[in-house]
Amino acid sequence: MSGQKITQSELESYLWGAATLLRGYIDAGDYKQFIFPLLFFKRLCDVYDEECAYALAESGGDEAYAAFEENHRFRIPVGAHWRDVRDNASHVGKAIQDALRTIEKANPDNLYGVFGDAQWTNKERLPDRMLKELIEHFSKHTLSLANCPEDELGVGYEFLIKKFADDSGHTAAEFYTNRTVVHLMTEMLEPQPGESIYDPTCGSAGMLLSAVAHLQRHKKEWRTLRLYGQERNLMTSSIGRMNLFLHGIEDFRIQRGDTLEEPKFIEGGCLQRFDVVLANPPYSIKQWDRDKFAVDPWGRNLHGTPPQGRADYAFWQHILASLNTRTGRCAILFPHGVLFRNEEKAMRAKLVESDVVECVLGLGPNLFYNSPMEACVVICRMNKPKARKGKVLFINAVGEVTRERAQSFLTDDHITRIVNAYRRFASESGFTTVADMEMIRAQEHNLSIPLYVSKTISAQLIMEYAILDDKPTVQQTISEWKQGSRDLRASMDTLFRTLSHSLKIAVEPPQQGGTGEK
């Protein structure tokens, strides 16, 4: 077992190496059920040993003193330590499961249920030999605070979340949101020390951690943040809790449950209200209790009840009802459809007229995880500054995206440009428009960004075309684009003339003396 400090690259290789041992035994989408709990279990035990060593040194070798609960962040009961599991040659899955449950019960206030509900005792799926290999692999390094500080292990854990998302396909969306987009949303909202941060569909808690990271980057006190999250999926909520613990954060509340069906954060008989909400709700879900929401006891259907096939506006209204009326602001990652779909037109009109929508930001394609659709971020503020009242800033940042190795992301330059435009809150040709309420009413409360910000061909797009294999010049690229537009218009004109002629023939009666039959 190594007692040396682990480099970031060694840590990432070590963590992903554990996952590769599962290949051929279980589906990639299920790796997280087993790897994350084992990693957290190993970390808890190694830190416990580190605390014991420190207490022994402090007390001159007093083992009774070293065992005092006051010397430890978490209790590891006798028989439930990593080395106890490692000593098992058979029934390894049961040994793991028993140890995890014992630790949860010994720390009921903060660890209960944290390890999830993986089926460790299924020997057909997890034979003893494979589990022994997994235990021995994790035993190669000592994950103490000295060897692996919290910020470094946190980065490694996030690396593993991203790798699992890449490896598991579309199912990853429920627990992973593009981190560069999360960074952008957090920068726009600017969380402050002491504020409450809430994510109603928190997944692996990446958005909550982003608020912490924001304050750390700006050298502000982050330990006073109050973090809250709710997540429907048991394993995903466990991943989120472990993620926060491994980042060194203990003052948080993540509850398991369906946010629309049963919101968990209640205060004084009403929904608890927060200073900041960051969210990426599951888009356009169909399986939700619309009838119950129509008579919602929490009053979240203030602007109406969404259609059964799309719960987006249910989440949106839940978020607004969860904002502090004085300090509350939110950033929500949505598909563009929420901006213009006709079936939500009435609700959208009421929402816009309530004057809480502050900014509508259009982002490029492929920023939703494993989905090519374009994303948008809607920022709402319950108490707008006087200069912004009755106005909405539209930002067309579709061109502010970079794609490498099949991954789309925002660079620091993209984020800086967007954040600066949001803070200026001024019109900039081809990029931003400040629309007043009359302009939005003239568009029947349609918030589709191209209605307010005219599209232009970006220099970046032209250059991307210019470096294709046949390397056309910039002038050629523009000329071909214009010719293509003309050809398309001519084709459509011909098609409409043909259709018009066909319809005319179809509706005209046969001429007298002709051969038409009765």
- Tens of pLDDT, residue by residue over 435-456, are 999 999 999 999 999 999 986 5
* Nearest in space to 320 (alpha carbons), one of 341, 292, 350: 350
pLDDT recorded at residue 124:
86
pLDDT higher at 251 or 456: 251
The residues near 45 (Cβ < 8 Å, ≥ 6 apart) are 76, 81, 82, 83
Mean pLDDT of 173-196: 86
Residue 126 pLDDT > 60: yes
Assign 3-class secondary structure to 398-454: CCCCEEECCEEECCHHHHHHHHHHHHHCCCECCCEEEEEHHHHHHCCCCCCHHHCCC
Q: For residue 260, which of 300, 228, 233 has the smallest C-alpha distance?
A: 300
22 closest CA partner among 155, 163, 170: 163
Bridge partners, residue 436, by sequence: 391
What secondary structure letter does DSSP report for 73? Answer: S
Share of the chain above pLDDT 70, in %: 83
Instruction: Classify residue 239 as exposed, middle or buried by CB count within 10 Å of its CB (0-12, 13-18, 19+).
Output: buried
Segment (H or E) for 276? strand 276-279
Give the mean model confidence (pLDDT) for residues 258-283.
Answer: 95
Whether the predicted pLDDT of 489 surpasses 70: no
Q: Is the pLDDT of residue 162 over 80?
A: no
Amino acid at 4: Q
Cα separation values, 475 from 352, 455, 462, 485, Å: 42, 19, 9, 15
| pLDDT computed for residue 199 by the predictor | 98
What's the average model confidence in pLDDT over 417-442? 96
Which residue, chain included where needed, has tokens 């969380």?
A: 191
Instruction: Report the range of poorest mean pLDDT among 56-60, 191-195, 383-387.
Output: 56-60
Distance CA 99, CA 27 (A): 25
- CA 40, distance to chain mean position in Å, is 22
Q: What span, in angstroms and rounded, lies between the C-alpha atoms of 27 and 267?
A: 41
- What is the number of helices (H) and of strands (E) in the chain? 17, 13
More confidently predicted of 427 and 369 = 427
User: Quick one: average pLDDT of 57-66?
Assistant: 90
* Number of Cβ within a 10 Å radius of residue 128: 16
Q: Which of 72-86, 90-104, 359-373 has the lowest mean pLDDT?
A: 359-373
Are 196 and 276 spatial neighbours (Cβ–Cβ below 8 Å)? Answer: yes
Q: In whole angstroms, give the CA distance from residue 278 to residue 206.
A: 10
Looking at the predicted structure, is the pLDDT value of residue 125 above 90? no
Place of tokens 């009774």: 64
Amino acid (one-letter) located at 51: E
Q: SS3 for 105? A: helix
**What integer pLDDT is reported at residue 440 of this predicted model?**
97
CB 432 within 8 A of CB 395: yes
Assigned token pair, 175: 């627990």
Angstrom distance (rounded) from CA 82 to CA 38: 9
For residues 286-314, give the mean pLDDT. 94
Per-residue pLDDT at 510? 43
Q: What is the mean pLDDT of the chain?
A: 85
- 365 Cβ contact list (under 8 Å, min separation 6): 372, 373, 374, 398, 401, 408
Pick the residue with more confidence: 480 or 393?
393
Q: In the chain, what are the helix, strand and coil shares in percent, each to the nearest 5?
A: 45, 15, 40
Rounded to whole angstroms, the Cα distance separating 192 from 461 reads 37
What 3-state class would DSSP assign to 296? coil
Contacts of 254 (CB under 8 A, 6+ apart): 202, 205, 228, 229, 230, 231, 237, 240, 241, 244
For residue 464, pLDDT beyond 80: no
Is residue 75 pLDDT above 90, yes or no?
yes
Which two three-digit tokens encode residue 158?
């996030």
Instruction: Band the pLDDT of 460: cuts 50, 70, 90.
Output: very low
**CA 358, CA 512: separation in Å to the nearest integer?**
66
Residues 345/447, Cβ–Cβ less than 8 Å: no
Residue scoring higher pLDDT (432 or 399): 432
For residue 91, give the DSSP letter.
-
- Which letter, b or e, does each residue of 208-221 get, where b requires 16 or more Cβ atoms within 10 Å of its Cβ? bbbbbbbbeeeeee
Joined tokens for residue 176: 């992973």
- Mean of the pLDDT values across residues 141-147? 92
Is 70 exceeded by the pLDDT of residue 492? Answer: no
Which positions ≥6 away from 449 have C-beta within 8 Å? 336, 339, 360, 362, 376, 394, 395, 396
In 3D space, the residue among 239, 183, 181, 174 whose CA is nearest the CA of residue 201 turns out to be: 174
Residue by residue, DSSP assigns 132-149 as HHHHHHHTTB---TTTS-
Q: How many CB atoms sit inside 10 A of residue 352's CB?
A: 18
Question: What tokens were used for 4?
Answer: 């040396």
Residue 199 pairs in a beta bridge with 229
The pLDDT value given to residue 477:
41
pLDDT for res 251:
87
Residue-level pLDDT at 284: 81
Q: What does the alpha-carbon distance between residue 81 and residue 45 come to, in Å, rounded to a whole number?
A: 6
Q: Model confidence at 498, in pLDDT bands (50, 70, 90)?
A: very low
Give 50: exposed, middle or buried? Use CB within 10 Å, 0-12, 13-18, 19+: middle
